[in-house]
A and B are shown apart, each in its own frame.
Chain A
Amino acid sequence: MMISVLIVLLWGVVAVLVTYTVRHYIFTFNRLFGRHRQPYVDITAAEWPTVAVFIPCHNEQAVITGSLEALLAADYPADRLTIIPIDDRSTDATGDILGAYARRYPELIKPVFRTGGEPGKAAAMAEAAARVGAEVHLVFDADYVPGPKLLKQLTAPFFDPEVGAVMGRVVPHNVSSNLLTRLLDLERAGGYQVDQQARMNLGLVPQYGGTVGGVRREALSSVGGWRTDTLAEDTDMTFRLVLQGWDVVYQNRSECYEEVPENWPTRIRQIRRWTHGHNQSLARYVMRIISKPANVSGLQALDGALLLGVFAVGPILLLGWLLALLLYYMGYQPPVTILVILLVSAFSTLGNFAAFFEVATATRLDGSRNRVRLLPFLFFGFLVSLMAVSQETILQFIGRGFGGRKIKWDKTERYRNGGGAP
């Protein structure tokens, strides 16, 4: 009886892994041989709508100046642009820096200083966005350095009346720092160049990532604004928009530099935060997306459900290994078929946000040369992520639950200017 239950579980694990394997291969082949969709990126001349650029900040003195200077140099009509840094109770010089910029550019930079209310990016966004009437709300993290044409590129999709949110591509800037940053560079390339763009090509559900992107104010309002009780307000927003019939689009050519974590503890904290938030969205929206509401196609519903389950793949893979070991020591000889499928699919789902062959494909599409040689080391990065994701997921399922974790500013460490004031 026990063995039968374990066998059924193992088959279930294999089924999940095979599904994700097929998904990874579809995305990869689409990027290699499919039609590349970027329908809005060539809208370069237009009557541009009013745009508010939000930059949530919490102790960002090391990087905020670079971000503001880049936005001040942006090619966007000044009378239709407002830059809104949101200082959420910083204890460093962030507030002073923002105040100085606001005095120099009073028409353009209008900071919001938060001293109370719920902490965290989602709460900061919710409070600031409610005060702004601009048609398009773009969001950048404080360490991001947008190029001059990025604002127009990210705004152009909103000429499509169906588009509710847009996402650009995040490109690590501090690649050369160490092995971790180089691995994250590979992982980001796979995730954006292959995964996100393939979903865009196939008309599925590209994910709004919370930065280097934006939301139509009308769409934001139609879904009730930013939720403050989640650690992944971006995933949450993606699914609420999709369920309401809005399109989320991805633009691969709208690139922006970011800083990636340079040490493993920071990276693990980041992964655990993402896992918690993503799993919150999984619990909230998976049944609603599977039930395929109006204006959501069958393929979008399937892709949406798989996207929600991305952080569950690691623990499921771990469970598969555990089951295989248990069954082996209980004397069960699995058929060769299941072993081959498990082997192939286990390998093909190794990778946190992109399987290894997706990363290799991304480096080829990017025209980068030798960085792909580091691919074997991704395995170690994946093991670390696997443990962090699994630990957080298990804690959510058996311990703290999906809403129990206290929301706070769990910000990523900055490295530019030595992490101090510029």
Chain B
Amino acid sequence: MSVAFFVLLLTVTIAWVLAPVLPAIFELLRPTDAEPLDAVGSDSGDLTVFADGFRNYLARQLPAALQASPGAEYRGELQDGTPFLQVGERAEFLGESASDGAHSSRVVTTVPTTLPGGEVFMMELLARSTMQGGPDAIYRAVLAEQDLSLGERSSVLRWVHAAGNLYVGSGSTLFGRASALRDLRLGNDVSFTRVRAARVVTGSAEPPAPMLFPLVMQGTTKFPVGTTRERTFTRVAGDFTVPEGGAVTGSLVVTGTLTVEAGARIGGSVKTHGDCVLHDDVVIDGALISRRDVTTGRGCAIHGSLAAERTVVLGPGSSVGTPLAQASLAAERITLHDGVQVFGAVTAVREARTTSE
């Protein structure tokens, strides 16, 4: 074997061995992905974070002409060159600026405005005064400094926030986040994933205040054999039924399915490893956590948060949280019947929907 052949063979062998680690060597010598994972959020996770960001952005970018007379009619650009339209005293100016209803500018309205419907807002919309949306409108994002009403079959692609009340018309779809500082009322057949307000309420009628005590209470509940009393809760092995009008003192963990008959009360939090079925007028003083499905009848009141790993169906007039105690409703899929009230946040991993059926 010649020396040249040996060197060639050696070179090829070294190259063969090094080939799989070449990407590693290149990445080590010239890092292209060496930043910390962008996983640690710097915001508080509040749903209003986008609305706050937009408000601050507009304050910085308003044209100089508008900073002197903030309520004037204006069509032009923001300081960063973004197309911009401000509706002043004449609400009709909005319609005149886009005859086909498609608005490609960032839009600000400063007077009470009623839209005829069918508009498409391709950029953010800020309503400094009240706004009444028409049917079949599509919004990229809306920030309302007062009350806002979205018409039937509206779509919001990113977020909507109202500093007052927010009404979402029937058949609407909220693809992103929706929030209101006061009431957020959802019409029938509204689809959404994340909403938050002082009170989220479904349907058009005003439901009664959440029940603090059940109508009928008949005393304590007998636990089955195998029940153990832990330090902070009672653990029932297998399925368990709290009888009609029965009461359970303290928190309850059920490793099977829990059924709570009408008018019963649980004086603490509840955890179920299986399904949880609450019949009418049940009151739970604490949180309700389920590894499967939760279904409630009419007028149930869960004073703490409700989190289920699969589906939640809240019956007519049921509530989560109280006016004095904020709470969360979270599940993979959520169905809310008419008259449901949630004092706080509703989050569905896949989809939440209102229904009047």
Of the residues B27, B228, B328, contact of A373 by C-beta under 8 Å = B27
In the bound complex, do residue B271 and residue A162 qualify as a contact, i.e. CB atoms below 8 Å apart? yes
With an 8 Å Cβ cutoff, the count of chain B residues facing the other chain is 56
Contact digits for B176-205, partner A, Cβ 8 Å, 1 yes 0 no: 000000000000000000001000000000
In the bound complex, do residue A255 and residue B271 qualify as a contact, i.e. CB atoms below 8 Å apart? no
For B344, the closest partner residue in chain A by CB is A45
Q: Is residue A43 contacting chain B, with contact meaning CB distance below 8 A?
A: yes
Contact digits for A15-56, partner B, Cβ 8 Å, 1 yes 0 no: 000000000000000000000010110111111000000000
Bound-state CA distance A185–B27 (Å) is 14
Of the residues B21, B34, B44, B325, contact of A182 by C-beta under 8 Å = B34
Q: Is residue B357 contacting chain A, with contact meaning CB distance below 8 A?
A: no
In the bound complex, do residue A43 and residue B232 qualify as a contact, i.e. CB atoms below 8 Å apart? no
In the bound complex, do residue B33 and residue A148 qualify as a contact, i.e. CB atoms below 8 Å apart? no
B-side contacts of A175, CB under 8 Å = 34-36
* Given A169-B39, A171-B40, A369-B33, A45-B307 contact (CB < 8 Å): no
For A40, the closest partner residue in chain B by CB is B307
Which chain A residues in 148-173 approach chain B with CB under 8 Å? 148-149, 152-153, 159-162, 169, 171-173
In the bound complex, do residue A147 and residue B232 qualify as a contact, i.e. CB atoms below 8 Å apart? no
In the bound complex, do residue A42 and residue B307 qualify as a contact, i.e. CB atoms below 8 Å apart? yes
* Given A160-B287, A162-B271, A368-B231 contact (CB < 8 Å): no
Chain B nearest CB, measured from A147 CB (Å) = 5
Q: Is residue A338 contacting chain B, with contact meaning CB distance below 8 A?
A: no
* Given A159-B269, A218-B231, A46-B305 contact (CB < 8 Å): yes
A-side contacts of B160, CB under 8 Å = none
With an 8 Å Cβ cutoff, the count of chain A residues facing the other chain is 51
Which chain A residues in 177-191 approach chain B with CB under 8 Å? 179, 182, 185, 189
In the bound complex, do residue B44 and residue A368 qualify as a contact, i.e. CB atoms below 8 Å apart? no
Q: Is residue A371 contacting chain B, with contact meaning CB distance below 8 A?
A: yes
Bound-state CA distance A174–B37 (Å) is 10
In the bound complex, do residue A374 and residue B27 qualify as a contact, i.e. CB atoms below 8 Å apart? yes
Bound-state CA distance A43–B44 (Å) is 13
In the bound complex, do residue B32 and residue A374 qualify as a contact, i.e. CB atoms below 8 Å apart? no
In the bound complex, do residue B37 and residue A149 qualify as a contact, i.e. CB atoms below 8 Å apart? no
Q: Is residue A75 contacting chain B, with contact meaning CB distance below 8 A?
A: yes
* Given A47-B326, A75-B44, A37-B309 contact (CB < 8 Å): yes
* Given A189-B37, A373-B24, A46-B327 contact (CB < 8 Å): yes
In the bound complex, do residue A147 and residue B344 qualify as a contact, i.e. CB atoms below 8 Å apart? no
In the bound complex, do residue A46 and residue B26 qualify as a contact, i.e. CB atoms below 8 Å apart? no
B-side contacts of A46, CB under 8 Å = 287, 304-305, 326-328, 344
* Given A40-B307, A159-B287, A373-B253 contact (CB < 8 Å): no
In the bound complex, do residue A39 and residue B309 qualify as a contact, i.e. CB atoms below 8 Å apart? yes
Of the residues B42, B228, B252, B270, contact of A147 by C-beta under 8 Å = B42
In the bound complex, do residue B325 and residue A47 qualify as a contact, i.e. CB atoms below 8 Å apart? yes
In the bound complex, do residue A161 and residue B233 qualify as a contact, i.e. CB atoms below 8 Å apart? yes
Of the residues B33, B325, B327, B345, contact of A371 by C-beta under 8 Å = B33
In the bound complex, do residue B253 and residue A162 qualify as a contact, i.e. CB atoms below 8 Å apart? yes
B-side contacts of A221, CB under 8 Å = 231
Contact digits for A311-337, partner B, Cβ 8 Å, 1 yes 0 no: 000000000000000000000000000
* Given A147-B41, A373-B23, A159-B28 contact (CB < 8 Å): no
Of the residues A179, A255, A369, A377, contact of B39 by C-beta under 8 Å = A255
In the bound complex, do residue A45 and residue B287 qualify as a contact, i.e. CB atoms below 8 Å apart? no
In the bound complex, do residue A160 and residue B327 qualify as a contact, i.e. CB atoms below 8 Å apart? no
Chain B nearest CB, measured from A220 CB (Å) = 11
Bound-state CA distance A148–B233 (Å) is 31
Chain B nearest CB, measured from A380 CB (Å) = 11
Which chain B residues in 42-62 approach chain A with CB under 8 Å? 42-46
Q: Is residue A347 contacting chain B, with contact meaning CB distance below 8 A?
A: no
Bound-state CA distance A160–B36 (Å) is 32
Contact digits for B308-335, partner A, Cβ 8 Å, 1 yes 0 no: 1100000000000100011110100000
Q: Is residue A366 contacting chain B, with contact meaning CB distance below 8 A?
A: yes
A-side contacts of B304, CB under 8 Å = 46-47, 159
Bound-state CA distance A376–B268 (Å) is 53
Bound-state CA distance A27–B57 (Å) is 44
Q: Is residue A375 contacting chain B, with contact meaning CB distance below 8 A?
A: yes
A-side contacts of B330, CB under 8 Å = 39, 42-43
Chain A nearest CB, measured from B287 CB (Å) = 4
In the bound complex, do residue B235 and residue A295 qualify as a contact, i.e. CB atoms below 8 Å apart? yes
For A38, the closest partner residue in chain B by CB is B349
Chain A nearest CB, measured from B292 CB (Å) = 11
Q: Is residue A176 contacting chain B, with contact meaning CB distance below 8 A?
A: yes
Q: Is residue B291 contacting chain A, with contact meaning CB distance below 8 A?
A: yes
Chain A nearest CB, measured from B68 CB (Å) = 36
Chain A nearest CB, measured from B161 CB (Å) = 15
B-side contacts of A179, CB under 8 Å = 28
Q: Is residue B81 contacting chain A, with contact meaning CB distance below 8 A?
A: no
* Given A46-B304, A162-B233, A149-B44 contact (CB < 8 Å): yes
Contact digits for A259-297, partner B, Cβ 8 Å, 1 yes 0 no: 000000000000000000000000000000000001100
B-side contacts of A101, CB under 8 Å = none
Q: Is residue B230 contacting chain A, with contact meaning CB distance below 8 A?
A: yes
Q: Is residue A108 contacting chain B, with contact meaning CB distance below 8 A?
A: no
In the bound complex, do residue B40 and residue A255 qualify as a contact, i.e. CB atoms below 8 Å apart? yes
In the bound complex, do residue B271 and residue A370 qualify as a contact, i.e. CB atoms below 8 Å apart? no
In the bound complex, do residue B305 and residue A159 qualify as a contact, i.e. CB atoms below 8 Å apart? yes
Of the residues A218, A256, A375, contact of B24 by C-beta under 8 Å = A375
A-side contacts of B270, CB under 8 Å = 161
In the bound complex, do residue B271 and residue A160 qualify as a contact, i.e. CB atoms below 8 Å apart? yes
Bound-state CA distance A37–B32 (Å) is 32
Bound-state CA distance A149–B43 (Å) is 7
Additional 13 contacts, C-beta under 8 A, given A162-B253, A171-B40, A256-B40: A43-B328, A44-B344, A45-B328, A147-B42, A160-B307, A161-B286, A161-B289, A171-B37, A172-B36, A175-B35, A176-B34, A368-B37, A370-B27
User: 5 A-B residue contacts at CB 8 Å?
Assistant: A39-B307, A44-B328, A47-B304, A162-B271, A366-B37
Sort A-B residue pairs by CB-CB distance and give the 5 closest, nearest first: A45-B344, A42-B330, A149-B45, A75-B44, A370-B33
